[in-house]
Amino acid sequence: MAKITLDNLAHSYLTNPSGEADYALKELNHVWSDGEAYALLGASGCGKSTLLNIISGLLHPSKGRILFDDVDMTEASTADRNIAQVFQFPVVYDTMTVRDNLAFPLKNRGESPQYIAERVQQIGKMIGMEAQLDKRARGLTADAKQKISLGRGMVREDVNALLFDEPLTVIDPHMKWELRTQLKSLHNEFGHTMIYVTHDQTEALTFADKVVVMYDGRVVQIGTPQELFERPEHTFVGYFIGSPGMNVIPAAVEGMTASVHGAEIALREAFEPLRGKVEIGVRPEFVTLTDGNGLPVNVRRVEDVGRHRIVRADLFGNEINIVASEDTHISPEMTRVTFDPTHVNVYVDDWRQAGKAA
């Protein structure tokens, strides 16, 4: 187990990257604290897997260093780093039994046969495959194979970190929940540093203590699920987390007021004059549909999603979503919206701006 430090790390798949656009992973400084569970969240192709492969040593970064507990490991081989990694698609050793598959990493490390037998039995139980331990791995279904891959990832107790690269993609929903719970309890029990790559926000938010959101090769925000929800640092975080995502509306900001097509919205902070593309972001949860004062909207439809209702509306040509609780009465007279001022964020060129507290 180790603290993992990324120091000015960047990676390009080209041999001679010229501009920033050539980098699949843009310059990054980050410390993964020892024993914490992180989720790495982002759309497909944003550099998540690249980052993971650099940490495990499958990929050598173009720039920067990677340190385990302050020891430079940039040049160390994957084996020396002693990291476990589970990939998106199952990788099993076809000719081996399930038992031998699980034992393989331990055998390679020269553990005692007795320890291996015990540990494999334990892991077999954990992934729910005790009964199939002596079956050949080849004939199994994709999700059984992926469970074996997961098991192989968890079988070593002394790993520096456990990396999961969208490991539950091929698993059916019921088992997904079960395995995620297992991973969490494994984390609680052994305190491994875990990094869990996913593009599923529910998975990220339920699994991790801290969520790292990546966008276009860059880490745009690292925070607790709560922070990501209330203060998205980048409009991408706003869109990507939450269902539906944050409403982002072009606005002009002056002092403590934002104006959208002449309609004024109160802010919680005061801002200096801003340059660039100015927008305000407010989560649908903090928008209220009303028949009193507010900004005029055209309600297009109301969706009942069970626990609440989502109102899809139009505000000066911008699409706006409103989350209304189940017991709110929605009537045709409700053609205005109000925003909760404490939850309105201001963005310039997609990055959140901090104002001065009033």
Partner 1 sequence: MDKTVNHKAWFLVLPVLVLVAFSAVIPLMTVVNYSVQDTFGNNEFFWAGTEWFRDMLRDDRMWDALGRQLMFSAIILLIQIPLGVFIALNMPKKGFWVSFCLVVMSLPLLIPWNVVGTIWQIFGRVDIGLLGYTLAAIGIDYNYTSDPVAAWITIIVMDVWHWTSLVALLAYAGLKSIPDAYYQAAKIDQASRWNVFRYIELPKMMGVLMIAVLLRFMDSFMIYTEPFVVTGGGPGSTTTMLSIDLVKMALGQFDLGPAAAFSIMYFLVILLISWVFYTVMTNLDRQEG
Enumerate binding residues for partner 1 (CB under 8 A): 53, 56-58, 77-79, 82-85, 87, 89, 91, 93-96, 104-105, 108-109, 136, 138-139, 149, 152-153
H or E segment at 118? helix 113-126
The CB-of-81 to partner 1 minimum distance in angstroms stands at 9
Nearer to partner 1, 55 or 334 (CB): 55
- The DSSP output letter for 57 is T
Residue 350's nearest CA partner among 237, 190, 269 is: 237
3-state secondary structure string, 191-243? CCCEEEEECCHHHHHHHCCEEEEEECCEEEEEECHHHHHHCCCEHHHHHHCCC
Half-sphere exposure of 181 (CA within 13 A, CB side): 8
The CB-of-146 to partner 1 minimum distance in angstroms stands at 12
Nearer to partner 1, 103 or 253 (CB): 103
Phi and psi, residue 75, nearest 5°: -95, -5
Under DSSP, is residue 306 helix (H, G, I), strand (E, B) or coil?
coil
Q: Are 265 and 295 in contact (CB under 8 A)?
A: yes
Structure tokens at 311: 């109102």
| Burial class for 134, CB neighbours closer than 10 Å (0-12, 13-18, 19+) | exposed
Nearer to partner 1, 78 or 290 (CB): 78
Distance linking the first and last C-alpha atoms of the chain:
45
Rounded to an integer, what distance in angstroms lies between the CA atom of residue 5 and that of residue 2? Answer: 9
Nearer to partner 1, 116 or 253 (CB): 116
Nearer to partner 1, 154 or 346 (CB): 154
The CB-of-105 to partner 1 minimum distance in angstroms stands at 4
Nearer to partner 1, 105 or 281 (CB): 105
Q: Inter-axis angle of helices 98-108 and 113-126, to 10 degrees?
A: 130
Nearer to partner 1, 86 or 322 (CB): 86
- Cβ-proximal residues to 228 (8 Å cutoff; 6+ apart), any chain: 211, 213, 221, 237, 241
Provide the 10 A C-beta neighbour count for residue 170. 17
Nearer to partner 1, 83 or 297 (CB): 83
